[in-house]
A and B are shown apart, each in its own frame.
Chain A
């Protein structure tokens, strides 16, 4: 909201108070001033002056040499404009001026002639986007006056960011109350004599119950619609509101002055001798002031007359009853509507108006009579009309004789103990009274009745804030609370376990050279479809198609990052990239998304870990020493991850075996250069080379290795977070080694060799590893040679040569039998 300093000073005497002090006071009372706009910014050194002479510049045809006077000084000015003559009053930017367009005025020599300032155009003063020639002011303008004063541009505007609880501050009066309270000055708001009941030919009817508890109407005749007087126009324009006509302008003025939206109808258009407010009928259509029409749902408040609806209550007037140039009789409406209904209506029809904004925050229920009296007074003043009828329609709850306000009782020492501050009784009482609360002390209790317009003050905590903000938050000291009881043991907390494992996984990947990315949780259907993926969780009201679907996989985002990074990369080297992300992906957990209870959403979020890798093995090194990463480098990362997390029961299997579990995700991979990761009985995900089809479609510059795992599966079978690793005794006895070279069919995977060793070799085998694989002419078509080194060791004795020999024999036999291997 915008409030002008000048308008404020009509309500509070601000002599000796600068706009900056006002802004500070407001901000520290919780009404944040975001910016202070000085209308005269750039006009500081610009004054009015008269041209005494205009002569041709001796050196330049298109320049003039003007002698101007400010009344006290006469100056020579070189000017390029053509529209002026001697005697004109112009805007003179003096030396030192910094114009709104950024131009700095200095003493200068223009084509050999000295110039002591500049005559300004409206464009240079940013009064208009474009202008032809310099600004010529009316001939009766006083000389030597600041231009800002002459143009009335010497106000200061406060741009306020108001919080939703302070509906009472959505007006000049509301802000003025705070300013008056802060500077301890009286508040003088213009008051009109209260209207008294007068027979109304148009009867007001309340048919919406407590949703519209009061509606005051005044009928004015003899109105002449026309342009507003200058003071009114300027006032509205000063806060950025456009002048329309005298009557409409007055209704707008009231909205900004009192914060209570009001409406003026052309009384001739109100049919059937009545007006009122009721709940709409489902399906009825209502034309609005802005030219649009709404179809009612049966849940909004409408203003009706004897025949039809004439307004969307609290939001916008009807297009069928608006004030026009020909209007002579006016019906004024000042009413109160239920905030939540107005809010629903405004958002349902996307009609957020100045009126709905205020009504949904609540208006002063006791202020209706005052507002309509002021409104009627001003309308008569500017349009020449006369009040001929006035009716107050209200429910018992709004009977002006019986207004009740809530009473808040609080222990007198409550404020200080809750705030941890020491405020005196006098300070507290004076703080509350300064905002028009009634304060009484009854024994140890304080009884506070807030003013009627403070709908946000209902409980003692609300008053605490008032006391604190008025006395000053800076009066509250800094203390450290004491712990009552020890913290819960962390390791028992599943949230701790999840967080720790996530941290651990991230740390391993960082140690392996991966950089963490953070992508949006949402993406586009189009991008997902590039990967044959789709999402079942959609944003109903997306900002754009680009971010419409919740990501079912992190890989599309990571791959996009890799592509964009490659595109940024210049030079002939391939950009080495290692990226990872760990965050939830989205799927349905029910048939569709919807809240079926306070906590069920139908959406399943699964912690997911994805990473991608491409480029060189080393970050730095000579060409001859570098090589591109391949599947086995990538597999190493996966195994490091599993080891670090202590994942139990992890094993790899062919992608094709787990295609069903992996779903459409399995088609992201090159089936021959990828593997599925099983953990326990679950498939955790897959990793390997990206599918060549995708590599082509995405125009990747280097082979990209991709991995994605359901992190919750990995976490569920990993070492307990924070668990201490257990030591196993170091053997005192020497190990022995045997190497075996097996000639097996090309189809035999090396893990089967290890499996045989592990199965048969117990308990002597301490470890085993594949150390060579050969395929080629020497072993023959369809065959390969696998070399495995087995280490034997016992924990309790030195092994005898014969023992190891016997075990080697046993292993050889098993290789032959189980793998159809020949031992070379």
Chain B
């Protein structure tokens, strides 16, 4: 073989590689899909691809020229691979964009929501009241709804034929058995059970024979009792003022008006100043010594117990807090009402 022919072979091979390269790059940029791109890769760079085909003619090139061809072929391979990669990622991102475009949904269509439930406002209000008094160390206890006349009346200093029994029209279930007319019936049970000092709340349903626009024959009350040594009426005022601020806002004020409940002395009604005026929210007073006597309370360390009690209607508080105008709604169990308090 002659030098020149060797030189010719070298040049022509390099030219061919350049041609393959140019064509390949063209094909890559024209490939419109990933599979077409793959076909280009096989066609050019595969074992039987065009670059391999060109290199098969390597035998006709002199040994000293071969590295030149090889180097050129590597450049070609690298360029094509780079182009393939670039095109591939371009196509992939096009595909992704296409996917995003076609998979678009109407996000304003209805969701698949689960049902949501609600506690009755009476329960919510009770829990809130309990929470507030718990901060001051009150426990919670309960008692039976059907109770003896003893616990409902005698034990709260309303002996038989006491005119104060008129205040509460009572449902009777049997001789000496009533549906409790107030949660005060739980006071004495708690006192007998736990002794003193005592800080206890008694929430629950109570019953009175009265049914009109502003009364239901069943309603709910919460009773609170604080008995300790040296408890004063100013403590009653402080505790209820704290309660009023927690429930009705930090600006709420209370005022006491003298009133009468047989189980307290002095007794009072408590009004809270809220929004535009004074609203009556509960009854309270210093516990009547008769109750300590009935509970069998003894002096401790030379101190006699004193204490205060208060009771409030839960419906009344709930109605004030939630702007509910009609008491009867609380017992109608209309879902349209219940679901407003979810």
Contact = CB atoms under 8 A, between A and B. Distances in A.
**B is a partner of A:** yes
Residue of A163, A419, A577 contacting most chain B CB atoms (<10 Å): A163
A618 B114 contact: yes
A499 B123 CA distance: 12
Contacts of A476: 233-234, 237, 256
Nearest to B330: A518
Interface in B111-131: 111-120, 122-123, 127
Interface in B246-269: 255-260, 262, 265-269
B326 interface: no
Contacts of B238: 477-481
B167 interface: yes
- Contact size range, B: 35 or more
Contact of A479 (B118, B167, B235, B286): B235
B140 A495 contact: yes
Contacts of A583: 205
A212 to B, nearest CB: 16
Interface string B123-157: 10001000000001101111011111111000000
B173 A538 contact: yes
Contacts of A599: 148, 150-151, 189
B172 interface: yes
A496 B140 contact: yes
Interface string B146-176: 1111110000000011111011000111111
A29 B172 CA distance: 35
A28 B336 CA distance: 42
Contact of A539 (B171, B211, B237): B171
A713 interface: no
A418 B150 contact: no
B114 A520 contact: no
B257 A28 contact: yes
Contacts of A575: 335
A493 B139 contact: yes
Contacts of A655: none
B242 A480 contact: yes
A339 interface: yes
A543 B217 CA distance: 9
Interface stretch (A42-50, A281-289, A619-627): A619-627
Contact of A418 (B113, B209, B211, B286): B286
A648 interface: no
B117 A495 contact: no
Given A418-B286, A565-B334, A568-B336, A537 B256 contact: no
A462 B217 contact: no
B267 A618 contact: no
A410 to B, nearest CB: 13
Interface string A434-478: 000000000000000000000000010110110011000110111
Nearest to A342: B161
Contact of A513 (B116, B233, B260): B116
By secondary structure, the B interface counts as mixed
Given A516-B119, A618-B112, A618-B113, A592 B174 contact: yes
Interface in B272-325: 286, 288-289, 306
Contacts of B175: 593-595
A461 B286 contact: yes
B241 interface: yes
B335 A478 contact: no
Interface in A473-495: 473-474, 476-485, 487-488, 490, 493, 495
A599 B189 CA distance: 9
B255 A474 contact: yes
Contacts of B163: 164, 167, 339, 343, 360-361
B151 A598 contact: yes
B59 interface: no
B86 interface: no
A547 B217 contact: yes
B229 interface: yes
Contacts of A343: 161, 163
Nearest to A338: B161
Nearest to B308: A481
B248 to A, nearest CB: 15
Residue of A421, A537, A595 contacting most chain B CB atoms (<10 Å): A595
Given A495-B139, A495-B141, A543-B217, A164 B174 contact: no
B120 A518 contact: yes
A480 B171 CA distance: 38
Contacts of B149: 595
A506 B120 CA distance: 10
B117 A514 contact: yes
Contacts of A592: 174
B177 interface: yes
A625 to B, nearest CB: 6
B108 to A, nearest CB: 13
Nearest to A506: B119
A468 B266 contact: yes
21 contacts: A30-B259, A163-B259, A341-B161, A420-B232, A468-B258, A478-B237, A481-B235, A481-B238, A493-B139, A510-B118, A513-B116, A516-B123, A519-B331, A584-B145, A593-B173, A594-B175, A598-B148, A601-B146, A603-B174, A619-B116, A621-B111
Nearest 7 Cβ contacts at the A-B interface: A420-B234, A513-B115, A595-B176, A30-B258, A593-B174, A420-B232, A465-B266
